[in-house]
Structures are given as structure tokens and as C-alpha cells.
Structure 1
Amino acid sequence: MADATQVGTEQGGKPPTRRASWRHIGPGIVVAATGVGAGDLVATLIAGSKFGYTLLWAAVIGCLVKISLAEAAGRWHLATGRTLFDGWRSLGSWTTVYFAGYVVVWGFVYGAAAMSSSALPLAALFPDAMNLKGWAVLCGLVGLVFVWFNRYAVFEKVMTVMVGAMFLVTVYLAIRVTPHLGDAFAGLAPVLPEGSLIYTLGLIGGVGGTITLAAYGYWVNAKGWTDAGWMKVMRLDNRVAYITTGVFVVAMLFVGAEILHSSGLAIAKGDKGLLDLSGILKDRYGTVTSKLFLIGFFATSFTSLIGVWHGVSLMFADFMAKYRPSLTPAGTSREKSLPFRAYLLWLTFPPMTLLFLDQPFGLVIVYGVIGAFFMPFLALTLLWLLNSSRTPADWRNGLLSNVMLTVAGLLFVLLCVQQVRELPW
């Protein structure tokens, strides 16, 4: 029987076009929730604390940049029927070398960071239950078991519920601090206060900007969208997701502007800055507001953890299927394949050693360098792939896509240079 959303079969063997519908939305929510972590919220808070509403325009542009990147990744998967790693591989062996090094080192260090970030709000909510390291190990194990035993459909539903919690908490906080809407609208005018360049670039490029943008196409396929007939659905899904991300960012900028900037208060950099904010909220608005914020903090961190556990493991499984196809026999789901589960274990157990040791200096350097290069790598390779004969002519980049991906690529190159300069050489 034809899909209920089908609007007719196109001529020439093209797949039927599905009507964009809210009931299909899912992968975009997953990629947006995974990409926005606690560190991103802290960066937004600090920008608000230093410059008030002045950089609101940068947060809006950042969401537009992420929409263009995720749309490009999803369009590649649907238009070509090939995965993003297939595309990278077609550009030369250098892409394989970079990706292999990236997923190994990045996964090792990110695993520890994700577990620690998820543990912080739990340790604050339940201080007598166990110490921070215990909570971190527990978060890692729960994430492992959840992703190991569940398929994409269940994963998406859980992510959607947690995004709902994030959304409600951040919007509640934004309303609670009573923002000055006149100042907020004035912040949509592009202005660069003295000393704001790095914060501006960070707002545009940092929030929701990780390897999970590359995973979007894999989640699109896991949803069952496998051809160009799903293009309109994918585009609606992507826009809704990053508008939701924009609400998170704007809400946290409001909180930073109203609570921190107006009072001259400062918070620590990194995830612990959110604990500082929790204390400030408790003093100003009471225990209930503080605890609600910690719940939102946990939802933000844990969605990033399980999102990476699932999405990057899918990418690794695809990578290994090209080089060791015997590890993924025909008919085996990627989510049940040996490479998928092996990478899950890599994200969980080796990083636990970093929870009990200071991160080795050399590892921090390598992680920082290859991590900084990933977003320019993603933007510029998508620009290359979607303007070449590898993509069907009907789905190659138009002027707007080329402009957005070029801007994204240049922006991420600047951020890459800045991140490398700030490494503790």
C-alpha cells in the first residue's frame, strides 16, 4: 500500500515525494539535542554575562549555519543513497586517515567529558548518594546499556522526552528572569563590542556544532528515510530542530544577561559554571527553581552522552563496513553489528580511566588539534561533495547553500586557528 503522505508517483523512476508533516519529525530533534551540551550553554551564559543582549544576533546566525550544515548532510544521504563516509572516501584516502584518528582519540577523551558533565547535576541533586566519579561511571554504564539494547525508534522517543524537559526548563528560566525585550530586540542588530570577537565566533560556531551534525544523515536513514522522496520531510525536521536549539540559546543568553551581566556576577568556565548558576538561582528564586535548572542541566548533558554513544557508533560501524565487511554480515543492522558495539565499549570503559587520572598532557594536545579541525573538515567536504558529479544534478547546491557552507567553512577555520592557539602547548 502506498504511504499515506505520498502525493503521487513522479515520472522517470523518481521516488514519490512525501508531504512534509509534523508527525515525521525526529532525527533533527536528536541531532540538535546531542549537539547542544552543557559546555555550549556555559559559553552562551558567559557571552550574556559579559555583553548582555548585544550578541543575540550571533546566536541567531549560528542556528542558520547549523541548519545549512545538517541540511547538507541529510541531502547527501537522501539524494545519493550513499553515506557521508562513502562521500568522504571518494575524495581520497586522506579523509579516511583523518576520520580514523579522529574517532579513536576524540571518542576516548569525549567519553570522560560526557560522563563527568552528566554526573555534575546528579551529584548536586543527590549529594549524599555517591561522589562525582561514582555518578560519572553510572552515567556511562546507563548510556551503554540503553544504546546497546534499544533500536533507533526507542532512542528517538527518549531523546524527544528529554528535549521536552530541556525546552520547558530553559523557557521557564528565561521568563523567570523577566527579560528586557526592548534590549533583546536591539541585540539583533549586528554589533561587535570591544573584546567580543572570540565570543561572537564561539556563539556562531560552537552551539550545536560537533561531529553529531555529520551523524544527522545516519539518523535520517535509521528513521527509514532512504531516498530523495523524503527531502521535504527532512528539511522540515531540520528547521524545527534548530529553531528549538535557537530557543535554548536565546533563553540562556537572557539568563546570562539578566542575572549575571546586570549584577556583575561571574561563573566558572566549563560545565562547573552551570553549578555556579544553580547556586545563584537558589539564592535569588528559591530551591525549586534551582532544582528544576539542575534537572534541565542533566537532560542537556545526558542527551549529548547517549546521542554520541548512538550516532558516532553508527558512523564508526559504517566506516568499518567499508574496510572489514566480514564484521557486519549481510542483513545485520548497524545498531547490532560488532563495530557499533565495539565503539560503544570504547566510548565507555577506556575513558573511565581519565575520570581517576589527570588527562595526559600529550593526549589533550592531540584531542584539541584534531577536534578543532573537524568542523572545517565537515563544512568544506560537504561543499565539495554537493557541487560535484557525485551528487545528482537536481540536488546539488544552489547559491544559498554554497554561500552558507562557504561562510560556515571560513568561520570554522577561524575558530580552528583560535582553538589551536589556546591549547596548552
Structure 2
Amino acid sequence: MIGPGIVVAATGVGAGDLVATLIAGSKFGYTLLWAAVVGCIVKIALAEATGRWHLATGRTIFDGWRSLGPWTTVYFAVYVVLWGFVYGATAMSSSALPLQALFPDVLGLKWWAILTGLVGLLFVWTNRYAIVEKIMMVFVGVMFVVVVYVAVRVAPDLPDAFAGLLPVLPSGSIVYTLGLVGGVGGTITMAAYGYWINAKGWTDSGWMRMMRLDNRVAYVTTGVFVVAMLIIGAELLHASHTALASGDKGLLDLDEVLEQRFGRFTSTLFLVGFFAASFSSLVGVWHGVSLMFSDFVERLRAARAGTADGGVSEVARGDAERSWPFRGYLLWLTFPPMALLFLDQPFGLVIAYGVLGAFFMPFLALTLLWMLNSTRTPREWRNGWLSNTLLALSALLFLVLCVQELRDLPW
């Protein structure tokens, strides 16, 4: 009965998030466990607000953004094109790393990356949401079982783990704390949640309770997953003072540690989970952000025709996955980024991508606050005090993360 929440959560949790969580555990043990829990609450609030907008108003989130002024259209247009170009290469490389480690003599990293991109393209091109949802459920199952299994193998110290639920900020931990709260499962795919619930067939407020159940199950599952990764970092890396490489390659370092400690079976199983986490993000983005782009194009065309607020979206009608904007963006995510696999990312592109990406989550949180407290939303479905508090805290958190990310860019 549920599904879209699992899809959005699995898409948002990529290899980079796993490394960030592992590093937090390796540096501070269980001390920041509370931050992972807070992060899940933040994501539940954001996804619930996105889903509530779609179901309460019958309009897509891009419809809502357009109602706030043309600046949102300009920002989204630039962001979605540039983000897709850089993210495509990142997702393919991330999915290729565990495959190269599992099959080192078959293909080189770049060719594995190209293969994963082509497989993702073919899968999303030829299937509709119902099949995408089922394969994502499989990926989540693999990720969950593998990571929880490894966490149990490292024998967690339960008293220390429970002590980590008390909010404490050790010296030098602020960046890692913010990253844990804001990073895991938080990307443009948070905004795609509304499109996935429409694709599921949930199109009006009668589905509100189901959407909320779906959302909570998904992020509680993600929370267990994140806690398990933190346990692995705390028990396996913190005690031995083992450092991981930054970025996705840090998971290959963990693979070596697992092989030394538990043998080849456990390390191979972990690489399978690493692939499931990476490739699920690729498939989710290929599908979800292409749905968003399709709606973006459809609404612009409707505005030019003078029918901007008329009609049900293609996503709700089930037509979007066969539309040319959907498939055009699929091709954009797949083929142009392959050039980046053979080049160092151009300096200017890295800066622009970093700037636009840093602003997206604050943009999402603040615009949801705006739309769900206005007459754009039916009165009974507007924000209450809890939603407003959580969205305001989310906006503040993501603004701080935005400033931090901008400071860390190689200006």
C-alpha cells in the first residue's frame, strides 16, 4: 500500500551520505546519534509538507513555486539543467565504484560508470512508476539488511548508543552535526515526493492519511539505516582510529576494514549494499527529477497558452513518463555527463553547481512555509504550529548549511 516514501528516501540516501555518517561515527563515536534522529524528523516534516501541498491543492509543487513569482522559474530552470549535468556523472561514478571492486578484471571504472548510466536510462525509459517503485523496494531491502547485519556484526555498545541520544556538541563537531541533520536523504528528490504520490494514484486529500503513514515508515526506516551506519563508524573505525577517504571512495576503505575484521563474505555483502544505495539514487533521480522537469515544461507551455492553472498535470494523468520532456531530461542526465567522466570537472562548473545546490534545500523549506500558510492552500490543510516550527527549523538549518557549503567551495 505504501511506496513513494521509500522511493524518495532511497533516492536521497547515496554513497556520499553513507561516508558522511561513517566519518561522524569514526570521529565522535555515538555522541552525535541524536543528530541522526533529528535529521529524520526534519525529513519527515519536509516530505509531509510537499505531499500535503500536492494532495490538498491538486496542484504540483512547481505550480506553487510559479505562484510566488517568476524568480522561482528562473532559479529552477538554471538549477535543474546544471544540477542534472553534474549529478549524472556523480551518480554513475558512485554506482561504478562497488562494481569495479566486486569485478576488478572485467571493466575499468569509467566504463562501469557508463554501463550503469545506460542501464538506468533503459530501465526508466521502458517502465512506469509501479515497476520503478518495486525495484526501489528491493534496493531498500538490500541496503537495510546489509547495513543492519554489519552493524550487528560489529557488536554495538548499547549503553553508549543510548547515551548518544542526549544532545551534546563535542568540540569540532558542529559541521558534522549539521551534516547529519541536513544531509542524509535531503536533495532535490524531496521535492519529487509529490510527483511520486501522484504517480502512485494519490491525487486528492482523501489520501492524506496514507501519505503520512507512507512518509513516516520511509523515514523511520532511513533512521534505522543511518543509526546502523553510525554504529559501524563508531565501533569499527572510532576505536581503531581508522580514517576514511573523502567522498564515495571512503566506502571502499571500509570494505577493506571489513574484510580484515570479518572476512571476504561480509565485505562482499557490504559492496552489494553499497551498490544498492548508489544505484537506487541513480534510478530515483532518473525517474523523479525527470517527472519534475516534465511538469516544469508542461506548466511553461500552459502559461504561454493562457491556461496556466487549468487541468490536471500529466503526472496525475499518467502521461508524463511517455512525454518528450521526461525522456529528453533522461537523455540529458545520461549522455552529456559522460564527458565529465573523462575530464576533471571544470572549475567554473564546480562553483556554479555548488552555489545552486547549496540554495535548493533552503529554497524548498522556505517556499513550503510560504505556500502552506497562505490562501493558496485550503484552510483545513494549512500548517499548524508543529509543521511551522519544524519547517522553520529546517529552513534555518539549511541556511546555515548553505553558508557552510559556500564557504567550503574552492573560490
Any idea what SS the aligned residue of 1:266 has?
coil
Q: Distance in 2 between matches of 1:283 and 1:74?
A: 45
Q: Distance in 2 between matches of 1:154 and 1:202?
A: 32
Per-residue CA distance 1:130-174 (angstroms, 9 max, x = gap): 000000000000000000000000010000011100010011011
1:329 Cα deviation (Å)? Answer: 9.0
Q: Structure 2: which amino acid aligns with 1:390?
A: R
Q: Which of residues 258, 269, 273 in structure 1 aligns to 2:250?
A: 273
- 1:116 equivalent in structure 2: 93
Number of equivalences: 402
Q: Which of residues 392, 399, 405 in structure 1 aligns to 2:391?
A: 405
Per-residue CA distance 1:180-235 (angstroms, 9 max, x = gap): 00000000000000000000000000000000000000000000000000000000
- 2:36 equivalent in structure 1: 59
1:248 Cα deviation (Å)? Answer: 1.0
Q: Structure 2: which amino acid aligns with 1:407?
A: L
Q: Which of residues 142, 146, 149 in structure 2 aligns to 1:172?
A: 149
- 2:178 equivalent in structure 1: 201
Task: Please list, as runs of the form range in 1=range in 2, the aligned pairs for 1:32-43 lying within 5 A after superposition.
Answer: 32-43=9-20
Per-residue CA distance 1:288-328 (angstroms, 9 max, x = gap): 00000000000000000000000000000000001235999
Q: Structure 1: which amino acid aligns with 2:336?
A: P
- 1:185 equivalent in alignment to 2:185: no
CA pair 371-329 structure 1, distance change in 2 beyond 3 A: closer
- 1:76 equivalent in structure 2: 53
CA RMSD of superposed structures (Å): 1.3
Any idea what SS the aligned residue of 1:160 has?
helix
Q: Which of residues 387, 394, 414 in structure 1 aligns to 2:400?
A: 414
Q: Which of residues 365, 375, 383 in structure 2 aligns to 1:379?
A: 365
Q: Structure 2: which amino acid aligns with 1:132?
A: L
Instruction: Give me the TM-score of the superposition, normalised by structure 2.
Output: 0.96
Q: Structure 1: which amino acid aligns with 2:288?
A: G
- 1:304 equivalent in structure 2: 281
Q: Structure 1: which amino acid aligns with 2:188?
A: I
Any idea what SS the aligned residue of 1:350 has?
coil
Any idea what SS the aligned residue of 1:324 has?
helix
- 1:358 equivalent in structure 2: 344
Q: Distance in 2 between matches of 1:181 and 1:226?
A: 43
Task: Report if aligned partners of 2:60, 2:195 keep a CA contact under 8 Å in 1.
Answer: yes
- 1:151 equivalent in structure 2: 128
Q: Percent identity?
A: 75
Any idea what SS the aligned residue of 2:336 has?
helix
Q: Which of residues 322, 328, 331 in structure 2 aligns to 1:336?
A: 322
- 1:234 equivalent in alignment to 2:220: no
- 1:321 equivalent in alignment to 2:307: no
Q: Distance in 2 between matches of 1:406 and 1:141?
A: 40
Q: Distance in 2 between matches of 1:126 and 1:150?
A: 28
Stretches of structure 1 that go unaligned for 5 or more consecutive residues are 1-23
Any idea what SS the aligned residue of 1:424 has?
coil
- 1:213 equivalent in structure 2: 190
Q: Structure 2: which amino acid aligns with 1:95?
A: T
- 1:392 equivalent in structure 2: 378
Q: Distance in 1 between matches of 2:41 and 2:85?
A: 30
1:409 Cα deviation (Å)? Answer: 0.0
Q: Distance in 2 between matches of 1:44 and 1:157?
A: 27
Per-residue CA distance 1:98-125 (angstroms, 9 max, x = gap): 0000000000000000000000000000
- 1:12 equivalent in structure 2: none
Q: Structure 2: which amino acid aligns with 1:340?
A: F
- 1:368 equivalent in alignment to 2:345: no
Instruction: Give me the TM-score of the superposition, normalised by structure 1.
Output: 0.93
Q: Distance in 1 between matches of 2:74 and 2:205?
A: 30
- 1:136 equivalent in structure 2: 113
Stretches of structure 2 that go unaligned for 5 or more consecutive residues are 306-312
Q: Distance in 2 between matches of 1:107 and 1:147?
A: 16
- 1:283 equivalent in alignment to 2:260: yes
